[in-house]
């Protein structure tokens, strides 16, 4: 175990973990409860931590035993000594600055995520107790962090276990002024201005003659005849809607800011709010069957209902990554997100299996993904014109050589035909399953095209600002404007 009396710079996080520079001169005093936890930790794990008198609170930590502690929490194991050791280590990190402090914040979030995802009620409640100590002391370095972790991760884990008492207690303690039942502040803009025919559109879903696009001011535009005519019904919300999905029959889902989810049973003619337990933004929807949808989004949000939104199951995850659009992949689904997230969800159910990427940065932001009907061939798009391709169902991804430098926000396809959309009105078409691309023949539009979707092998739709909808009748080779933009 390294003695940290002599400090030196660590260039990597692993080095910062192996040589923890945790001094604690600012708060060397110990409350009686913490002193008891230190004694309990030393008794249970004699070589885990070294605590020296004077101005040094935590002199060193055995990194192998720290890794074992994290693994125990992830496995759902929790007892009094585990809780004591977790508190002691996280408290020690909170008293440091620089790389060790940064690592400590990451470690706190990781352990909270493990407790939420582990399915152990005692681990969840124990981690909630630790975070509550941090939150209750407003001068604590982790007070704000604890508020967020309690509000989202631990509350999600409690909801997934049906621990209504813990959910209610956390809600009351973290934000007593908010009900968290509907999770939005809608009503203001729509009451003053109503729906706008040219509201920006962020997502589109299409199947046969059915088309629905969602966007700003709670807008959902719906066509039942392949885009020849459009309806703009009242949706009951003015919050931006970032995701839309077609369910079986006449079912349509849309979701967006602050946890807003709406559902239509009649093809978009009327809509009903489906209250969710969290106010995190929803960026992706996957309609797996009748009255069944998975909603994903900010802060690793994963919510699922199988009764049309009457009840929601929160599926906790360790990572805080933003999750975006979800693509159907055969009988499964693939969710895209930040930090190179491309996860295959068996039968559309988290947790997913993460794919490995080659040829793109580790922090590659993936905005959208598409798979063929078999779920074997897939493409995903993201920042700076990056396109990655998979031929093994999303287990591995390799970068496709392309001439694009614009950010790409949408990808859709049918068979070997694939279209990508992005900044500056970019629409590009592939006839060989995404190996090569060429510009589609489309009107020159200085607007970002946010999404593209195929209704069948011949017909594709792209959407963007000002209510813009474009349609292709030849598999994505050419596009024409149907509505919005600078016209109607």
What total number of domains does the chain contain?
2
pLDDT of residue 277: 82
Residues 211 and 105 in one domain: no
Model confidence at 21, pLDDT cuts 50, 70, 90, reads very low
Residues 209 and 340 in one domain: yes
Residues 239 and 109 in one domain: no
Structure tokens at 147: 């508020």
Residue 389 lies in a domain: yes
Residues 294 and 361 in one domain: yes
Q: With pLDDT > 90 as the criterion, what percentage of the chain qualifies?
A: 64
Give 79-136 pLDDT, tens digit per residue: 999 999 999 999 999 988 888 888 999 999 999 999 998 889 999 999 999 999 998 8
Least confident of 15-24, 104-113, 365-374, 453-462: 15-24
Residues 157 and 215 in one domain: no
Q: With pLDDT > 70 as the criterion, what percentage of the chain qualifies?
A: 88
DSSP string for 220-255 = EEEESSTTSS-B----S--S-EEEEEE-STT-EEEE
Per DSSP bridges, beta strands 292-297 and 323-329 are unpaired
pLDDT of residue 414: 97
pLDDT of residue 54: 59
Residue 8 lies in a domain: no
Residue 181 lies in a domain: no
Section 270-281 average pLDDT: 89
Q: Examine the fold and report which residue of 140, 174, 208 is the final residue of a domain before the chain moves on.
A: 174
Residue 7 lies in a domain: no
Residues 227 and 253 in one domain: yes
pLDDT of residue 102: 87
Distance (Å, rounded) from C-alpha 384 to C-alpha 28?
Answer: 48
Q: Within its chain, how far is the Cα of 147 from the centroid?
A: 19
Structure tokens at 194: 């109503």
Quick check: 326 pLDDT over 50? yes
Residues 297 and 256 in one domain: yes
Residue 212 lies in a domain: yes
Section 210-230 average pLDDT: 95
Contacts for 136 with CB less than 8 Å, ≥ 6 apart: none
> 3-state DSSP call for residue 416?
coil
Q: What residues form DSSP beta bridges with 293?
A: 287, 305
Give 54-83 pLDDT, tens digit per residue: 555 778 899 999 999 999 998 989 999 999
Residues 365 and 430 in one domain: yes
Residues 369 and 456 in one domain: yes
Section 288-293 average pLDDT: 95
Quick check: 177 pLDDT over 60? no
pLDDT of residue 486: 54
Model confidence at 435, pLDDT cuts 50, 70, 90, reads very high
**Positive or negative: CA dihedral 248, 250, 256, 260:** negative
Q: Which residues of 413-448 are buried (b: 16+ CB within 10 A; e: fewer)?
A: bbeebbbbbbbebbbbbbbebbeebeebebeebebb
Domain of 400 in residue numbering reads as 188-483
Which of these, 326, 338, 318, lies nearest to 378 by C-alpha position? 326
DSSP at 401? P
pLDDT greater at residue 10 or residue 135: 135
Residues 196 and 66 in one domain: no
pLDDT of residue 55: 53
Contacts for 129 with CB less than 8 Å, ≥ 6 apart: 83
Cβ(371)–Cβ(362) under 8 Å?
no
pLDDT of residue 330: 95
Quick check: 5 pLDDT over 60? no
Residues 61 and 196 in one domain: no
Q: How much is the pTM?
A: 0.79
CATH number where 283 lies: 2.130.10.10
Quick check: 24 pLDDT over 70? no
Least confident of 24-33, 118-127, 165-174, 423-432: 24-33
Section 232-251 average pLDDT: 93
pLDDT of residue 323: 97
Section 326-346 average pLDDT: 97
Residue 4 lies in a domain: no
pLDDT greater at residue 119 or residue 486: 119
> 3-state DSSP call for residue 483?
strand
Residues 194 and 167 in one domain: no
Quick check: 276 pLDDT over 50? yes
Residue 472 lies in a domain: yes
Query: For all residues of the chain together, what is the average pLDDT?
Result: 86
User: Token match 């159907």: residue?
Assistant: 328
Distance (Å, rounded) from C-alpha 332 to C-alpha 77?
Answer: 31
Q: Examine the fold and report which residue of 141, 174, 207 is the final residue of a domain before the chain moves on.
A: 174
Residue 141 lies in a domain: yes
Q: Examine the fold and report which residue of 142, 174, 206 is the final residue of a domain before the chain moves on.
A: 174
């Amino acid at each position: 175990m390294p003695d940290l009396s002599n400090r030196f710079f660590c260039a990597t996080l692993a080095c910062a973990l192996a040589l923890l520079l945790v001094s604690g001169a600012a708060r060397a005093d110990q409350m009686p409860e913490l002193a008891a936890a230190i004694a309990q930790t030393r008794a249970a794990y004699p070589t885990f931590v070294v605590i020296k008198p004077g101005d040094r609170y935590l002199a060193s930590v055995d990194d192998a035993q720290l890794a074992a502690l994290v693994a125990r929490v992830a496995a759902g194991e929790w007892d009094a000594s585990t809780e004591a050791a977790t508190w002691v280590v996280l408290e020690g990190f909170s008293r440091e600055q620089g790389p060790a402090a940064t690592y400590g914040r990451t470690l706190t979030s990781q352990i909270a995520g493990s407790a939420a995802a582990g399915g152990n009620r005692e681990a969840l409640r124990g981690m909630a107790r630790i975070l509550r100590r941090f939150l209750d002391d407003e001068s604590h370095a982790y007070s704000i962090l604890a508020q967020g972790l309690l509000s989202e991760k631990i509350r999600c884990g409690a909801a997934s276990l049906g621990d209504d008492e813990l959910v209610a207690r956390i809600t009351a303690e973290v934000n007593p002024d908010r009900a968290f039942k509907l999770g939005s502040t809608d009503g203001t803009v729509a009451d003053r201005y109503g729906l706008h025919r040219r509201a920006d559109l962020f997502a589109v879903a299409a199947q046969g003659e059915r088309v629905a696009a969602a966007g700003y001011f709670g807008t959902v535009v719906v066509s039942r005849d392949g885009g020849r005519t459009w309806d703009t019904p009242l949706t009951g919300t003015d919050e931006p809607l970032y995701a839309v999905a077609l369910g079986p029959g006449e079912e349509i889902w849309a979701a967006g800011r602050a946890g807003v989810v709406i559902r239509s049973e009649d093809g978009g003619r009327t809509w009903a709010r489906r209250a969710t337990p969290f106010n995190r933004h929803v960026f992706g929807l996957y309609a797996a069957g009748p009255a069944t949808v998975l909603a994903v989004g900010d802060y690793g949000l994963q919510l699922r209902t199988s009764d049309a939104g009457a009840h929601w199951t929160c599926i906790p995850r360790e990572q805080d990554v933003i999750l975006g659009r979800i693509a159907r992949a055969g009988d499964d689904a693939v969710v895209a997100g930040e930090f190179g997230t491309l996860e295959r969800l068996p039968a559309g159910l988290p947790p997913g299996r993460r794919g490995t990427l080659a040829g793109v940065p580790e922090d590659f932001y993936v905005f959208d993904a598409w798979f063929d009907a078999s779920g074997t061939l897939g493409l995903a798009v993201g920042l700076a014109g990056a396109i990655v391709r998979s031929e093994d169902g999303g287990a591995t991804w390799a970068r496709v050589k392309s001439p694009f430098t614009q950010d790409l926000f949408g990808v859709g396809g049918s068979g070997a035909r694939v279209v990508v959309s992005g900044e500056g009105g970019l629409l590009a078409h592939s006839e060989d399953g995404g190996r090569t691309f060429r510009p589609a023949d489309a009107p020159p539009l200085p607007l970002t095209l946010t999404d593209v979707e195929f209704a069948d092998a011949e017909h594709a739709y792209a959407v963007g600002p000002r209510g813009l909808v474009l349609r292709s009748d030849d598999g994505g080779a050419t596009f024409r404007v149907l509505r919005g933009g600078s016209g109607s």
